[in-house]
Structure 1
Amino acid sequence: MTLTVGRDVEWIDSSGDRRGRAAGVRRSWASAQPFDPRPTEGNQLPPEVNERRWKIVARGYVRSTVLLDGLVAALVGAALLVPLTGAPAAATAWALVGALFFVLMVAVFRGYDADNMGDGPAEFQAVLRGGALVGIALMAAAFSFEVDIPRTVVFAGVPALVATASLARYGHRHHLHHRRSAGEAMMRTLVVGEPSAVEQVVGELSIAPHHGYQVTGVCLPSLDNAVPMGGHPVMGAISDLPQVVVDNAIDVVIVAGHYLSGSALRRLSWALGRTPAQLVVAPDLVEVTGPRLSVRPTAGLSLLEVEIGAPRRRLVAKTVLDRTAASLGLLVLSPLIGAAALAVKLTSEGPAFYKQTRVGVDGSTFTIWKLRSMYLDADARRDQLLKDNEGQGLLFKMRQDPRVTPVGRLLRRYSIDELPQLFNVVRGDMSLVGPRPPLVAEVEAYPDMVQRRLHVKPGLTGLWQVSGRSDLSWDEAVRLDLRYVDNWSVTMDLMILWKTGRAVFAGSGAY
């Protein structure tokens, strides 16, 4: 093996394998020798910048979350126990004990791990499981020790605790996301791999800063013809990677593409073990997340198992959620639907309700119900307005559509015209959450990949509705629908329903 020493290094091993040009002398990734940081702008960050990094912020964020959970649990417990017992001092003491137990149970389910906080559903799942364990413990205490615990505490107090703690955490997380949008509480991130794969990962991370990954730079196989990726500098070749990490105070290294795999990836993990950085691998599985992925250790290999179809228990849970929530929704919202129908009838000629044939799961058709928001001749006038279409792909959209009535414009802004579709959900034609129910003509024009949207029931709301509604392009709407079809879960449905409320009240992207 030959080695040329200097600022730019080119390696050629004994088999003639050419390695890319690097910025420094290559050191073995299997060595136990530490990588000493060299003075750079990255590892000598000003104190005010360093204090805003996630590694520093996380400690305070975890502490404040623990205090928030404890405070919420104590307040909910006191609010329930004081009226029941009539003894404020004793009730408050028991509420504090319950709050401590709740915090401990959430901690058991890793609800305070910095890696699980600020992003993803894990921390909300920990709150739910911790609350369930509190309920089980109360029932066990009542049965085993014959303690007189009011049923209200178990069947009303625990759900109220979980709901209130989740809302408090949501607000806490929202504040964190706001800080991240301003460049605070971020993880300094280095993306490594071949240029095409690096460019894709950098692009995806750049449009979603709330996840906390701040791309500081990239490392490519060689410095030959290296150009910045998305405005981020090339900090070195892949062989320079560990030294680049310590020189630039990198928190996370993301490996993209195939250039580093197998034994090379294993050796990289050894090298990064001598640095403070985390190693993350971006798999080539596109838009496959969360519940569908699990690691199966076999014969010294780490096999990544991909769930092909949703298990029956998840399908049953979704059906129960849909039918129950839609029935309650119809019951509660029937006065609003009736008032809106009357307004439609009194202000424009024609029926109050509009029905149309749409395509459902696996290509079956059904009749969808909506409050009429357009004039009677809307379908006939559509062809005349095609030249003014502002939508993309198969969607027809106009911000100032002349076919929409004044009352219809108000109904659309707050999605009141969609409420009769709760009847479709109760019937089983639709789900609360899913892709947009398409027209027959749209489905006939679908490219092959888009047919995947029909694999699940269409929804009253979905990922595209909470991500911009009509402001989204056709391609982006399809991408979000396919992401939902591939990764849906009951937890995701609940999160989308929660975000739908925000989108509806804000009226963003609705026209």
Structure 2
Amino acid sequence: MVTESLSHSIVRAPAALDWLSLYRRTLWVSDALVIAGVMFATQYVWFSLTGEPVSRPVDDIGPVTYTWLSTALILGWLVALAISGSYSDRVVGIGTAEYRKVMASAIYLFAILAVVSYLTSTPISRGYLLLACPAGTALLLLTRALWRRRLWAARRAGDAMSRVLVIGDDQESARIIAELGRMPEAGYRVVGVSGPGTRSDFSSAGVDVPFLGPVRDIDRMLEVTGADTVLVASDAALSAQSVKQISWQLEAGRQHLIMVPSLTDVGGPRMHLRPVAGFPLVHVETPRYSGRQRFVKRSFDVVGSGALLLVLAPLFGVLALLVRLSSRGPVFYRQERIGQEGVPFRMIKFRSMIPDADDMLQRLLAEQGKAGQPLFKLENDPRITPIGRILRKYSLDEFPQLINVFLGDMSLVGPRPQRKEEVAFYDSAAERRLIVKPGMSGLWQVSGRSALSWDEALRLDLYYVENWTLLGDVSILFRTFKAVFAPGDTAH
């Protein structure tokens, strides 16, 4: 009942400050309920299994019982979440920083507890801690993700948004407005634009929000638009003093200033702000894969693919039987694809087409006017068998690629593996997709699949290659599971 009323309050919040305050309170109450439930449930389950009193003393001598310890850990965990910044409006609702801070707070809290236990020679049940820490962290991440989905739904409906005044040139403002419009989950709604051009310049650039003229009176613009955020583009032609004057006119705590650099598609972990001699220098790390990163990614692939092969073995047998009975031809389809550093490999799939499908491809591409394009996707492909259509819709035909992952030809997550005919279209930018192993799933697959154009798919793949993180891989896999069970209209 508590979470339902809080959820309703978030969606109905009338202003940016209202929804942000309510959302933070919602997260705090939700976290408190989760942590309290986990700590007391762990205490009861563990000591019931070991046959000891549920509220026995911690060291069998002193007055401090495990009930007191659980209570202290609940309060300490909430304090750790607050200190880590997991409730900050800079991280909640978008990106992976919120989840990293939630995990870090748990690690630090239990590390401190272990140190205190060692220094005071106070033995604490290891089973109690080993159950509470991962269970509590997992449930916190799950509830945070659920609240985020609720927030995203509210933002897509037009609620819980920051009202943004954009200052910039016509083309750059159009780009910013288009990007923010494509991602309402970020929580920014552009309500006005200002710049050196004229109203017709901005209209011709595709800007369909009110044009307020050159930057003169920020206070008046904020009042007219009701904006709480001023976003200054890199090409706004404003001097450092002018930007400083704008920041002085904003009300602290209620109105915010955001600077947009010209550099795009750079992940947060690669950017570091370093103030030097009064200049805010933004360091951008060169994209690279260290030996440690390659080891972590490969280990994740081996463990993940091995576990999935064991778990899905019965399903493999059922699907193989269905393919065999549906039409003549082999169960598996093997095709040459281009892998890491341009090395070809044989990709394995369940056969979803008639045996002579490859011989028909060029003729069908020409008929649909798609010959000479880098993405060879046919609509209403007549080569697909009835069972193959179901396999492809739910990506079941891709399951045998777990063998490719286990053998090292592919990764669980990475750019789409392409044919050499498609690689022939690559320019120097597209060739960067080959820095890493191709993946069973990837950023483009969970962002539109077949509905994406070549340029959009390439941009997403390059973003993944240049900003890889293990947590990002985990996030993509979770989104992949959703895409498999609810593929929508973009899967074919």
Q: Where does residue 127 of structure 1 map in the other structure? A: 102
CA distance in 2, matches of 1:396, 1:263: 52
Deviation at 1:53, TM superposition (A): 1.9
Deviation at 1:273, TM superposition (A): 5.8
Q: Where does residue 10 of structure 1 map in the other structure? A: none
**Does the 8 A contact of 2:17 with 2:254 survive in 1?**
no
Deviation at 1:141, TM superposition (A): 4.1
Q: Where does residue 316 of structure 1 map in the other structure? A: 295
Deviation at 1:91, TM superposition (A): 5.9
Identify the range of structure 1 (179-188 vs 260-269) with the bigger mean alpha-carbon deviation: 260-269
CA distance in 2, matches of 1:241, 1:221: 14
- Are 2:390 and 1:413 equivalent residues in the alignment? no
Among 217, 231, 235, the residue aligned to 1:254: 231
Aligned residue runs from structure 1 range 40-189, under 5 A: 51-86=13-48, 87=53, 94-189=69-164
Inter-CA distance 273–226: structure 2 relative to 1 (3 Å threshold): farther
Identify the range of structure 1 (381-390 vs 279-288) with the bigger mean alpha-carbon deviation: 381-390
Query: C-alpha offsets along residues 379-408 of structure 1, whole Å, 9 cap, x if unaligned?
Result: 112123124548793222234222112222
Inter-CA distance 391–127: structure 2 relative to 1 (3 Å threshold): farther
Deviation at 1:484, TM superposition (A): 1.3
**Does the 8 A contact of 1:222 with 1:238 survive in 2?**
no
CA distance in 1, matches of 2:487, 2:324: 24
CA distance in 1, matches of 2:116, 2:313: 43
Q: TM-score, normalised by structure 2?
A: 0.88
Q: Where does residue 476 of structure 2 map in the other structure? A: 496
Q: Where does residue 211 of structure 2 map in the other structure? A: 234
CA distance in 1, matches of 2:139, 2:335: 40
CA distance in 2, matches of 1:50, 1:91: 41
**Does the 8 A contact of 1:391 with 1:473 survive in 2?**
no
CA distance in 1, matches of 2:137, 2:427: 44
Q: Where does residue 268 of structure 1 map in the other structure? A: 246
Secondary structure, aligned partner of 1:426:
helix
Q: Where does residue 7 of structure 2 map in the other structure? A: none
Q: Where does residue 243 of structure 1 map in the other structure? A: 220
**Does the 8 A contact of 2:365 with 2:378 survive in 1?**
no
Among 449, 452, 455, the residue aligned to 2:435: 455
Query: C-alpha offsets along residues 349-398 of structure 1, whole Å, 9 cap, x if unaligned?
Result: 22211111111122111121111111111111212312454879322223
Query: C-alpha offsets along residues 160-203 of structure 1, whole Å, 9 cap, x if unaligned?
Result: 21111111011001101111111111101001111111111011
Q: Which runs of 5+ in 2 are unaligned?
A: 1-9, 56-64
CA distance in 1, matches of 2:200, 2:303: 60
Q: Where does residue 386 of structure 1 map in the other structure? A: 365
Identify the range of structure 1 (325-334 vs 63-72) with the bigger mean alpha-carbon deviation: 325-334
Deviation at 1:299, TM superposition (A): 3.3
Q: Where does residue 6 of structure 2 map in the other structure? A: none
**Does the 8 A contact of 1:272 with 1:278 survive in 2?**
yes
Inter-CA distance 223–407: structure 2 relative to 1 (3 Å threshold): closer
For these two proteins, the number of residue pairs brought into alignment is 464
Q: Where does residue 166 of structure 2 map in the other structure? A: 191
Secondary structure, aligned partner of 1:180:
helix
Letter in 2 for 1:500: T
Deviation at 1:336, TM superposition (A): 1.5
Secondary structure, aligned partner of 2:163:
strand
**Does the 8 A contact of 1:388 with 1:398 survive in 2?**
no
Q: Where does residue 451 of structure 2 map in the other structure? A: 471
Among 287, 295, 299, the residue aligned to 2:273: 295
Deviation at 1:110, TM superposition (A): 0.3
Letter in 1 for 2:132: G
Q: Which runs of 5+ in 1 are unaligned?
A: 1-47
**Does the 8 A contact of 1:257 with 1:282 survive in 2?**
yes
CA distance in 1, matches of 2:67, 2:159: 38
**Does the 8 A contact of 1:198 with 1:257 survive in 2?**
no
Deviation at 1:319, TM superposition (A): 2.2
CA distance in 2, matches of 1:325, 1:49: 37
Deviation at 1:227, TM superposition (A): 4.3
**Does the 8 A contact of 1:134 with 1:158 survive in 2?**
no
Inter-CA distance 391–206: structure 2 relative to 1 (3 Å threshold): farther
CA distance in 2, matches of 1:88, 1:386: 69
Inter-CA distance 389–477: structure 2 relative to 1 (3 Å threshold): farther
Letter in 1 for 2:319: A
Query: C-alpha offsets along residues 250-309 of structure 1, whole Å, 9 cap, x if unaligned?
Result: 211111132124343333333336794211111110211311111122333222111113
Inter-CA distance 276–222: structure 2 relative to 1 (3 Å threshold): farther
Letter in 1 for 2:74: A
CA distance in 2, matches of 1:49, 1:427: 47
Q: TM-score, normalised by structure 1?
A: 0.85
Inter-CA distance 276–161: structure 2 relative to 1 (3 Å threshold): closer
**Does the 8 A contact of 1:52 with 1:186 survive in 2?**
no
CA distance in 1, matches of 2:12, 2:346: 58
- Are 2:381 and 1:401 equivalent residues in the alignment? yes
CA distance in 2, matches of 1:221, 1:49: 37
Task: Give RMSD over aligned pairs.
Answer: 2.4
Secondary structure, aligned partner of 2:265:
coil
**Does the 8 A contact of 1:450 with 1:478 survive in 2?**
yes
Secondary structure, aligned partner of 2:349:
strand
**Does the 8 A contact of 2:446 with 2:476 survive in 1?**
yes
Secondary structure, aligned partner of 1:188:
strand
CA distance in 2, matches of 1:241, 1:488: 39
Deviation at 1:210, TM superposition (A): 0.9
Query: C-alpha offsets along residues 217-253 of structure 1, whole Å, 9 cap, x if unaligned?
Result: 1011255755445320112311233431244332111
Inter-CA distance 438–49: structure 2 relative to 1 (3 Å threshold): closer
Secondary structure, aligned partner of 1:285:
coil
- Are 2:254 and 1:279 equivalent residues in the alignment? no
**Does the 8 A contact of 1:176 with 1:185 survive in 2?**
yes
Query: C-alpha offsets along residues 401-443 of structure 1, whole Å, 9 cap, x if unaligned?
Result: 2211222222212212111111222222211111100111111
CA distance in 2, matches of 1:85, 1:504: 40
Inter-CA distance 50–194: structure 2 relative to 1 (3 Å threshold): farther
